[in-house]
A and B are shown apart, each in its own frame.
Chain A
Amino acid sequence: MKERLMEILSDIRPDVDFESETALIDDNILESFDIIELVSRLNAEFDIEISPKDLTADNFNSASAMESLVASLQEDED
């Protein structure tokens, strides 16, 4: 999953180092249209539904936080 996530991220924002950034939202690195695209691609790619309540800085500040979010939503599905 990590690999596919990193692919999507670097596709949306090739200029950002997603391995090291830990304040993608709080430092305004990701912009609102990045998030729109990201949410729709994560939903499609991992067959999940990210709800408005999941859209928090804590869940999107780093690639590993996003990975945990996707994993927890996939568990809910099962």
Chain B
Amino acid sequence: MEKNVLEWLEAKALEHADKTVYEDMTESLSFGDLIDEAKSIGSALASKELSGKPVAVMMKRSVHTISAYLGVVYSGRAYAPIDITQPASRIARQLATLDPDAVISDDDAQTDVSPAKLMTFSSLVSCKKDEAELQRIRSRMTDDEPLYIIFTSGSSGRPKGVVTSHHSLMCYIRAYADMMEISEDDRFCAQAPLDYIAAIRDIYLPLLRGAYTFICPKEYFMQPGVLFDIMNEKQITCVGWSTSALCVLSKLNALKEEPPAYLKKICFSGSVMPSSVLRGWQESLKEARFVNQYGPTEVTASCTYHKLDHVAEEDEKIPVGIPYEGYRVFLLGDDDKEVMTGGLGEICIAGPAVALGYYNDPVQTEKAFVQNPLNPSYREIIYRTGDIGRFREDGILEFHGRRDRQIKHMGHRVELDEIESAAVALDGVEEAAALYDSDKETLWLFYIGASEEREVIRGLREKIPGFMVPRKVKKAEDLPRLANGKTDMVRLNAMMKEGA
């Protein structure tokens, strides 16, 4: 069994060096090109006097971004993808948490990173390959070493960087490839940003199975005709998209058009799929297989899957299914005892896909990655998701919401606390409360302060990503209070439902 993802790449590069592995709107890479670029970047990084810390990759949506990720891996380090479209202050906080050895950027990038750490992609990729050095690095690596660090929303506004090993990644990708029966003939259409957890499927499935990924422009997902045309042109057979992307296309009446002709397998994840949306897709793509998938970044993207065996009925709740090969999923009650079939409990995950923790953040790591309370005998770390679930009689898991204030919005994980802390950091905002109307998929913010609503929206756009900026921002004289002076979230929720 392989112990490093690069072994997948090397095997496929030998098998079919000339086959295209990744393509974007302007460029494409064959397996041979990819390994050449990655080895050059790896050799360049290895030749510099650096410590063993991670390397951040801040590049646009392009095939070369993946070469940069794998180049960092060749150098023996973990890569940390950073979303360059988010506000500069949030990038700065992620880089501060990371304290990287180096930052790889596009040649034309505008960043605040200190020049000593900044390296351009072209300066690295033009270096000569040093096979002996790369071999030396590889021979010392083990499969429990970090492969990547991917950032998610943190409740205090401090970003959490999830550290994942080669072993965990390979465990998930193998299980997914088996479940979806991925072959070298499969052609994927990448929807997720390359810095986002969902992109690991689009990046690594081609390396495992010799398949192909088209990196689709983000804006095509709001242009249904254009999207379906390019999916036909690229003969896309399989997609792993956010539930939200399927919902958006459905709301834009995409399903009134002829659906993509080659599409046979659809996996969706990220939030609860409305049965009406799923039904629309199922009726449009009658021959296709649909799979619902569930799980957080902390257990390498997903832990359970559910293959749909019938067209979704009105108001049917789509379960999240059964554990992937290599994952153990169980429920814990408030008393830390196991909750058996039929009862509600916190979804907990054990096994090799559990991440190594949050980078440079022992406090948050210890809260979520804990000793299995069911096991007093030896060290066994499990991940507590904070999600509530219930096992049906037939062993299938259902999702029943969150324990805390984390929500899923437009396929992204959002901590309402992060929105509030960004709001109160603005001049003219004294106090703020963020809420989510899940029926209407709308974020709300109530605040007290001198600022006008539009100023608050503009201010938030400079602090948090666009998808986190509330659509409804309401200034209030005061917030409803509980007897102890705390905000009365129940009354606020009612105000939101009434349209405030």
**A38 to B: closest C-beta gap in Å:** 10
Q: Is A1 an interface residue (CB 8 A)?
A: no
Which chain B residues border A57 with CB–CB below 8 Å?
219, 223, 226
**A62 to B: closest C-beta gap in Å:** 14
Q: Is A51 an interface residue (CB 8 A)?
A: yes
Q: B423-457 vs A: 1/0 string, CB under 8 Å?
A: 00000000000000000010000000000011001
CB <8 Å contact, A55 and B461: no
CB <8 Å contact, B257 and A52: yes
Which chain A residues border B253 with CB–CB below 8 Å?
51-52
* 8 A Cβ contacts from B197-239 to A: 218-219, 221-226
CA distance A39 to B224 in the complex (A): 13
CA distance A36 to B371 in the complex (A): 45
CB <8 Å contact, A55 and B257: no
* 8 A Cβ contacts from B240-299 to A: 245, 248, 251-254, 256-257
CB <8 Å contact, A35 and B225: no
CA distance A33 to B442 in the complex (A): 9
CB <8 Å contact, B257 and A32: no
CA distance A62 to B481 in the complex (A): 44
**B195 to A: closest C-beta gap in Å:** 14
CB <8 Å contact, A39 and B252: yes
Q: Which residue of A lies closest to B409 (CB)?
A: A33
Q: Is B337 an interface residue (CB 8 A)?
A: no
CA distance A52 to B280 in the complex (A): 15
Q: Is A53 an interface residue (CB 8 A)?
A: yes
**A78 to B: closest C-beta gap in Å:** 23
**B222 to A: closest C-beta gap in Å:** 4
**B55 to A: closest C-beta gap in Å:** 26
Known: A26-B219, A52-B252. 16 other contacts (CB 8 A): A14-B454, A14-B457, A15-B454, A15-B461, A28-B85, A28-B219, A30-B222, A31-B222, A32-B245, A37-B471, A51-B253, A52-B224, A52-B254, A55-B223, A56-B225, A57-B223
Q: Is A42 an interface residue (CB 8 A)?
A: no
Q: Is A25 an interface residue (CB 8 A)?
A: yes
Which chain A residues border B219 with CB–CB below 8 Å?
25-26, 28, 57
Q: B402-414 vs A: 1/0 string, CB under 8 Å?
A: 0000000010000
Q: Which residue of A lies closest to B253 (CB)?
A: A52
Q: Which of A31, A35, A37, A57 has the most CB of B within 10 A?
A: A31
Which chain B residues border A28 with CB–CB below 8 Å?
85, 218-219
CA distance A15 to B344 in the complex (A): 43
CB <8 Å contact, B457 and A35: no
CB <8 Å contact, A55 and B454: no
* 8 A Cβ contacts from A40-69 to B: 51-53, 55-57
Which chain B residues border A53 with CB–CB below 8 Å?
225, 257
CB <8 Å contact, A36 and B224: no
CB <8 Å contact, A33 and B441: yes
CA distance A31 to B223 in the complex (A): 11
The answer to whether residues A36 and B461 also contact, given A55-B224, A56-B226 and a CB cut-off of 8 A, is no
CA distance A31 to B468 in the complex (A): 12
Q: Is B395 an interface residue (CB 8 A)?
A: no
CA distance A56 to B218 in the complex (A): 13
Q: Which of B222, B245, B253, B410 has the most CB of A within 10 A?
A: B222
CA distance A28 to B471 in the complex (A): 17
CB <8 Å contact, B256 and A52: yes
The answer to whether residues A33 and B248 also contact, given A15-B461, A25-B219, A28-B218 and a CB cut-off of 8 A, is yes
Which chain B residues border A39 with CB–CB below 8 Å?
252
Which chain A residues border B218 with CB–CB below 8 Å?
28
Which chain B residues border A52 with CB–CB below 8 Å?
224-225, 252-254, 256-257
CA distance A57 to B458 in the complex (A): 24
CB <8 Å contact, A31 and B467: yes
**A55 to B: closest C-beta gap in Å:** 5
Q: Is B343 an interface residue (CB 8 A)?
A: no
CA distance A25 to B221 in the complex (A): 11
Which chain B residues border A26 with CB–CB below 8 Å?
219
Candidates A30, A33, A35; contact of B471 at CB < 8 Å: A33
What are 15 pairs between A and B in contact, CB < 8 Å? A14-B458, A25-B219, A26-B219, A30-B222, A31-B222, A32-B245, A33-B248, A35-B252, A36-B252, A52-B253, A52-B254, A53-B225, A55-B222, A55-B224, A56-B225
Q: Which residue of A lies closest to B228 (CB)?
A: A52
Candidates A15, A30, A37, A55; contact of B225 at CB < 8 Å: A55
Which chain B residues border A25 with CB–CB below 8 Å?
219, 222-223
Q: Which of A25, A33, A35, A36 has the most CB of B within 10 A?
A: A33
CB <8 Å contact, A31 and B466: yes
CA distance A33 to B441 in the complex (A): 9
CA distance A15 to B485 in the complex (A): 33
Q: Which 7 A-B pairs have the closest CB atoms?
A: A52-B224, A14-B454, A35-B222, A32-B248, A15-B458, A32-B222, A53-B225
CA distance A30 to B226 in the complex (A): 17
CB <8 Å contact, B223 and A51: no
CA distance A62 to B382 in the complex (A): 50
Q: Which of A14, A15, A32, A53 has the most CB of B within 10 A?
A: A32
**A6 to B: closest C-beta gap in Å:** 14
